[in-house]
Chains A and B, each alone.
Chain A
Amino acid sequence: MAALNLFAFRAGTTALHRLDVRTKMVLVCMVSLAILAADFTGCLACFLVLYGLIRTIGISFIRLLAQLKWFILLLIIMLLTSSLTIPGTPVFSLSGVMVTQEGMARGALVAVRFFLVMMTGLLFSATTRPTALKSAAQWFLRPIPLVPEKRVAIMISLFLRFLPLILDQAQQTSDAVNARCGNLHKNPVRRIRCLTLPVMKKTFMAADNLCLAMDARCFTEDRTDPAFEKGGKERVFLAAGGGLCLGMVWQAKVSFWMTFWS
Chain B
Amino acid sequence: MSPAYPLRSIVYTALFVALISVGAFIAIPIGPVPIVLQNMFVLLAGLILGPAWGLSCVAVYLLVGLAGLPVFAGGTSGIGKLFGPTGGYLLGYLPAVFVTGTLSDWLGKRPVFDILSLTAGSVVVYAAGVPWLKIAFTMSWGKAMAAGMMPFLAGDVIKIAAAAAIAGKIRPFVRL
CB distance from B126 to the nearest CB of A (A): 19
Interface residues of A (CB under 8 A from B): 3-4, 7, 24-25, 28-29, 31-36, 68, 71, 74, 85, 113-114, 117-118, 120-122, 124-125, 128, 133, 136-137, 151-152, 154-156, 158-159, 161-163, 165-167, 170, 188-189, 191-193, 195-197, 200-201, 203-205, 207-208, 210-211, 214-215, 219-221
CB distance from B4 to the nearest CB of A (A): 10
Indicate if the CB atoms of A4 and B25 lie closer than 8 Å. Answer: yes
Is B120 located at the chain interface by the 8 A CB criterion? no
Interface residues of B (CB under 8 A from A): 1-2, 5, 7-8, 10-15, 17-19, 21-22, 25-26, 28, 30, 35, 37, 40, 56, 60, 63-64, 66-70, 74-81, 83-84, 147, 158-159, 161-162, 165-166, 169-170, 173-175
Indicate if the CB atoms of B170 and A124 lie closer than 8 Å. Answer: no
Given contacts A125-B69, A192-B28, A193-B165, contact A203 B15 (CB under 8 A): yes
A-B contact pairs, 23 of them (CB 8 A): A25-B68, A28-B77, A29-B79, A31-B80, A33-B83, A121-B76, A122-B70, A125-B69, A128-B68, A155-B56, A156-B63, A159-B64, A189-B161, A191-B28, A192-B28, A200-B19, A201-B169, A201-B170, A207-B12, A207-B15, A208-B175, A211-B1, A220-B5
Among candidates B69, B80, B166, residue contacting A117 with C-beta atoms closer than 8 Å = B80
A196 — which chain B residues lie within 8 A by C-beta? Answer: 37, 162, 166
A214 — which chain B residues lie within 8 A by C-beta? Answer: 7, 11
B174 and chain A: residue at smallest CB distance:
A204
Indicate if the CB atoms of A118 and B75 lie closer than 8 Å. Answer: yes
CB distance from A81 to the nearest CB of B (A): 8
- In the bound assembly, the distance between CA atoms of A71 and B80 in angstroms comes to 18
B175 — which chain A residues lie within 8 A by C-beta? Answer: 208
CB distance from B76 to the nearest CB of A (A): 5
Beyond A121-B78, A137-B64, A201-B170, 9 extra complex contacts between A and B, CB < 8 Å:
A4-B25, A32-B79, A117-B81, A155-B60, A162-B15, A170-B26, A196-B37, A211-B7, A221-B5
Among candidates A25, A170, A201, residue contacting B173 with C-beta atoms closer than 8 Å = A201
- In the bound assembly, the distance between CA atoms of A114 and B78 in angstroms comes to 11
Given contacts A201-B170, A203-B15, A205-B173, contact A121 B79 (CB under 8 A): no
Given contacts A36-B80, A121-B76, A133-B67, contact A188 B19 (CB under 8 A): no
CB distance from A212 to the nearest CB of B (A): 8
Given contacts A166-B19, A200-B170, contact A7 B11 (CB under 8 A): no
Residue of B7, B11, B21, B30 most packed against chain A (CB within 10 A):
B11
